[in-house]
Structure formats: C-alpha cells, structure tokens
Structure 1
Amino acid sequence: MLDPDAKALLDFIASKNLPSYHTLPVAEARAYYRDRRQFSQPDAPEVGAVDDLPIDGPGGRLMLRRYRPLGSAPDAALPLLVYYHGGGHTIGDLETHDTLCRQLCNQSGWSVLAVDYRLGPEHRFPAAVEDSWAALQWAQANAATLGIDPDRIAVGGDSAGGNLAAVMALMARDAGAPKLVFQLLVYPATDLHYATPSHAANGQGYLLTRDVIDYFTRAYVGPEADLDDWRLSPALASDFHNLPPALVLTAGYDPLHDEGRDYADKLHTAGNRVEYVDYPGQIHGFLPMGRVIRQANEAVAVCARALREAGGA
C-alpha cells in the first residue's frame, strides 16, 4: 500500500497541475528541482563546518562541498562519505542535496564531501563518471588537509548518484585504491536498459515516470553510448567480488525498485556483506523529503546508522 504521506504528496502535485520534468527545457527543470526542495525538505540542520572547495577536474573547475559534523573536534581525522547527488545525471546540484548531506553528516559522525559533477546534455557520459572518480581520488590524496582518515572512505548517492557510487566502488576495486570501507546505494539506477518488471508496474503515477526516465537518459547518454557499458549500467559488470560492504535501499513504488534489489542480490551472491532495506510504500526520491514524508526521516537514520557501523563507531 502506498504510504499515506507519499500519497498526499502525489495528490497535491496532481491538484496543482505541476509540470513533469520531461516537459521542461533542461535549465527550467534544474531550477524547478532546486526550488521545489523548499516545500518537501526539512530545515537544514547546523553542522560543525561546511565549505566549498573548487578543485581542478577533468573538465575544468569541479566544485566540492565538505561538511563536518556538529561537535566534532577540529583536529579529528573523521571517516569520509563522498556523496553523489541524484537527478538523472541531468538535474540536481550541491544545493538540492545540502540538507540531506547535513543530516547524514551529523547523524553518522562522518565528514561528507558532496560532488557537483558535470551534467548532461551539456556534458554527456562519461563526464559524470570522470568527475566522480577525480573527486574520490582527490579526497584520498588530500586526506590530511580535509581532516579525514584515508583508510575510512566510503561512497554513496541516491538514484543517479547511487549509479555513480556503485561505479566508483567497482573502479576503486579494480584500481586497488582507495580501499573503500562502504557503499551507500539509495534507490540506485543500475541498468540503464530499464527492462525490469517494476519499470512497467511503476512507470506512471508515482513521480518518477517512464517519460522522465527517458528524458534523463537521452540527456546523459546521448545517441552514441553503449548501455551495456558497466560504467553506465554497473549491474552489467563482469565481476562483483571483493567490493565494499553495502547498504542498498529501495522504494516499492519506484520504477528502479527491481534493479536496486537485484543489484543487492548480485553483491550478496559474490560474497560481499550487504544490507538490503526496502520501503514498500514509498516512491522514488523520498529520502530528502522529511518535511512531507515522515518515513524519510527514518530512512535517513537507517543510512546514518549503517555509516556509523562501517566507520567503527
């Protein structure tokens, strides 16, 4: 059964005849996503420190945002979550996920480094992958300056960001560094063929529609990319052994539900430690929506608890 808070949100959107992302030019879709967060997200909690850090990325300046938790000692070497925001690789930025990053930071006791990776259609695949990898490498190389423990680095993200986090875990394993301690995959996109039953069952009526998915995929992938490339579809990687422990979180009314569940199964079958948490009454994108969906706050706490455990707390 659809969660009552999620249903109320969907009913409100329908009553206001609010536009779907796929009906908007990309610039307007980004502004709409950014502005809408004020309605659905909780107030941003105070953290111990937050600063924007521009670095030299593969495509020019790459902006990162570092958070340290409230009450943390300035000289403490904290575990670090490198976080990749959702938005179909097309919309979303540091601001759309600022509150969520603050929540995860404070509740886990980890430092968080959010990545403002390049977006399609201006910068199509593999630009987002290149930026994500550059940020992860930079974080490890600059651990002392960042005040983090280079032996306790994790990756995480929601939706498209979960896709990037999964890809980063595979890349880090293959490269031999950094030795990640955890991956946080929140309703991740893991196979861009989008052929699972949940895409058919949940493709209309639950915020993330098939039209929106196609809109994002065209913007990110373009006409030339091979959807079988595991850097686009990490579920199609050839080897899932020796990957970091994972929390995979899914939502029952999400088109991406089945591919998230199936990815958790692939990780588990290959011998990795996996916690799979499903919210059967929820919709895609609910995690930051704690102002209007009460269960989102529970899910954030679950993610933070998993991080605390992975960091040795």
Structure 2
Amino acid sequence: MDFSEWGKPSKEWLAFAAANEAVLSYSEDHLSFLEQQENANKLRGHGARVLVKTSGVDKLVATEDYVVPTRDGNSITIRSYRPILLGSAALPGYVYFHGGGYSIGSLDTEVFACSWLAHALSITVVHVCYRHTPQVKGLTPWHDALDGFEWVATHTEKLGINPSRLIVGGISAGGSLAARVVQDELRWARETGTSCRIKGQFLGIPNVFQYEAFPYHLFAGKEKTSIFQCRDAAILSEKRIKLLRELLGSEVDPHDPIWNPGLTDEEELRSMPQTAFLICGWDPLRDEGLLYAQKLKNAGVRTNVHIFPGLPHAFNAFLQLPSSKLWSEAMLGCLRWAMADEDGWIIEDAPVIP
C-alpha cells in the first residue's frame, strides 16, 4: 500500500507559507503544556465567537446545554444546535466530536463550526464535549464519547432529532472517538439483534491508530508512510504527535482496540454505516484515514473519500487559503452524503413560516 503521491507540499501551501512565515514559525514550546492548552483554547474560542458574530449565525441557530453522566461517576456537557426557523420539527442529527489531540477544545471553541453546520444543512448538531488530557488520561475520552452518544441516541425526541437520520462524526482526534462509537454501536446491534441506530459516519483527517500501533507492515515501505514522509509537516508533526500521545499516559496497552479503531478486522466492519472521509495529503495522519477507508471498502461498506493533495493537517483553519473554502464545501457534501439513503435522495426540510 502506498499513498505517498499525495504527500508533497502543494504550490498553494508553499506560497502561503512563504507569505506567512512569522505566523507558521510561532512556537510555544517554551511554555508548559497547561499554558499551551489554555492559550489554544482562548485563541480558538475567540476566533469562533468572532465568526459567529460577523456571520450573524447566532441569530439563526438556537443552542441548549445538557449535563450527561459518565460511567466513572462524573459528567460531561453536550450542546445542541438547531435552526430557529425550523421550529420543533424532528431534524436529521449529527453527533459531533471535536479535534485537538485529545487535549485542546471546549464547548466554546466549536460554537461557530456547529452553528454553521446546523444552519447550512438544516440539522440538529449535538457537540459531545469529552474530557481532555492532561486532566484525564487513558481511555476516558473514548468512554465519554460512548456515554455521550448513548445519551443522545436515547433522547432524540428531547433533542428534536429524527432517529432514522442520525449520523456520527469527528475531526482528527474526534475521528477516533466517532469511529469507536460507530463500531461499538454496530457490535451492540449484532449482539442484541436490533437495528444500528447510526445511518452514516463522517471522519475528517482522523486518527484511528495510536502512535505505537501503526501497521507499517501493510505499506510499501516505512519511508512511504505518512508518519515518516510527513514527519516534519506544518501544523502537526511527528514530534507533536508523540507529545500528545504521552499525555494520554502509559497505563493502557498501546494496542488496545478501544483507542485503535483502525485495527479492527475487516470481517467485523461488515454492515458498517456508509462512511465519508476528508483527508489531507501532507499530514502524518493521512495513511490512517486512507487505510481505514480501504478496509471499509474491502468489507463492502459504501465509502466516499475526498483528498486534498499536498495540504497539511487542519489547513482549513487558515481562511486565506483558497482550498479552505473547498474544504468547507466538501464537508457539507460529506455530511449530506452520510445522511442520504442509498439511492442518494435528499429531502430538504423547509423553514417554518411564522
């Protein structure tokens, strides 16, 4: 297996990097990780709030927070987003897990992304805000994701979600959580003889293997893998991946299947809900997403894969890049596709006219 053709930095990125050297070279490595975490959350939260206000989407979408109990006796908060003009209609639902290396992110950092998706797609978005490292370690983020999804799936009426059109997805670290949720739901459906409650899945630049568990043997050579080819890529480097992995702790086996959804056998993936991917070419996580997409395809699962050659992990954060708009359009397309029936029909929900 060899996806290295997508890994050379694109002309678009090189031109952007040359014009923004000071921004891209900025580093907080001299700070403690807790300081880095606080600064990142402040920056992302501020950016999200600015976009909400300047776009006016806060006038179009209503939010509500819910406290959800977790298996360890604690709790997490989830936030729902619904288009105001659709009233109380039961809408398609999207259970969303944010990215940030299992360390960065909050309810406030995702307020624009979730509001925009709810408005643009006429859906209910439910952001499950799991707990982060280094405040927690091990499998806690995955367990929070499972507990959060179960609460959503059993409270669809309260959330105004059409249970027959519920999809799950996430970005980067959130992709791992989403993939684990869908696999566990599929396993539960098989064991109980009931229908899978998830219609589709969206995985954006997903992390589906722990660093130590990456299956190098499945590729043409270690030097061809994204973790090697893109080890010094912008935004997310191999060094950063190792740091984020260390923050998860060493108490859990690196090969534990819960946090390695990419290791699941193809036979167990059969009957998986249709799955859409967004992948960046110059990204250490590139091969994780593409390998998982290939395994799903081999298992007979409908897949939709969109690749951005030569662009780094989460490049879409830089709105000046022309491809940032393409990413947004592709994401909307992926979510629409994941919600659609096999015949591809999409029935739009009309606004409620007062």
State the Cα deviation string for residues 174-231 of structure 1 (Å, max 9, x = none): 11165211111000011113456111111114110111101111112x1122122121
TM-score (norm 2): 0.80
Three-state SS of the structure 2 residue aligned to 1:155 is strand
Residues 38-81 of structure 1, C-alpha deviations (whole Å, 9 max, x = no match):
5699712414211222222234121111111353x222101111
Does residue 1:34 correspond to 2:41, yes or no? yes
- Give the CA deviation at 1:15: 5.6
C-alpha distance in structure 2 between counterparts of 1:63 and 1:36, whole Å: 21
Partner secondary structure for residue 255 of structure 1: coil
Partner of residue 262, structure 1: 291
Q: Which amino acid aligns with 1:55?
A: V
Match of 1:229 in 2: 256
Give the TM-score, by structure 1 length.
0.90
Of Structure 1 and Structure 2, the greater helix share is in 2
Give the C-alpha shift of residue 16 in structure 1.
Answer: 7.1
Shift of 1:240: 1.4
1:163 matched to 2:181? The reply is no
Contact 1:82 1:114 in 2 (8 A): yes
Corresponding residue for 1:203? 231
Alignment CA distance shift 1:146-1:90 (3 Å): same
Which is higher, the Rg of structure 1 or of structure 2? Answer: 2
Does the residue aligned with 2:310 lie in a helix, a strand or coil? coil
Structure 1 runs not aligned, ≥5 long: none
Distance 2:15 2:284 in 1: 16
- Supply the distance in 1 between the matched residues of 2:17 and 2:41 (Cα, whole angstroms): 17
Partner in structure 2 of residue 189 of structure 1: 207
Aligned AA for 1:121? P
The answer to whether the 8 Å contact 1:251/1:283 transfers is: yes
Contact 2:48 2:109 in 1 (8 A): no
- Check conservation: 1:39, 1:291, Cα contact below 8 A: no
What is the CA–CA distance in structure 1 between the aligned matches of 2:102 and 2:319, rounded to whole Å? 25
Aligned mates of 1:185, 1:42 — CA distance in 2? 26
Residues 246 and 275 in structure 1, CA contact (< 8 A), matched pair in contact too: yes
Q: 1:154 to 1:13 in 2, by over 3 A?
A: farther
Q: How many residues align?
A: 309
The answer to whether the 8 Å contact 1:81/1:155 transfers is: yes
| 8 A Cα contact 1:33 1:96, kept in partner | no
Deviation at 1:162, TM superposition (A): 0.5
* Stretch moving more, 205-214 or 156-165: 205-214
Task: Give the SS at the match of 2:278.
Answer: strand
What letter is aligned with 1:19?
S
Q: 1:15 to 1:118 in 2, by over 3 A?
A: closer
Shift of 1:91: 1.5
CA distance in 2, matches of 1:23, 1:270: 46
The answer to whether structure 1 residue 153 and structure 2 residue 180 are counterparts is: no
Q: Superposition pairs for residues 95-174 of structure 1, below 5 Å?
A: 95-174=108-187
Aligned residues: percent identity? 27
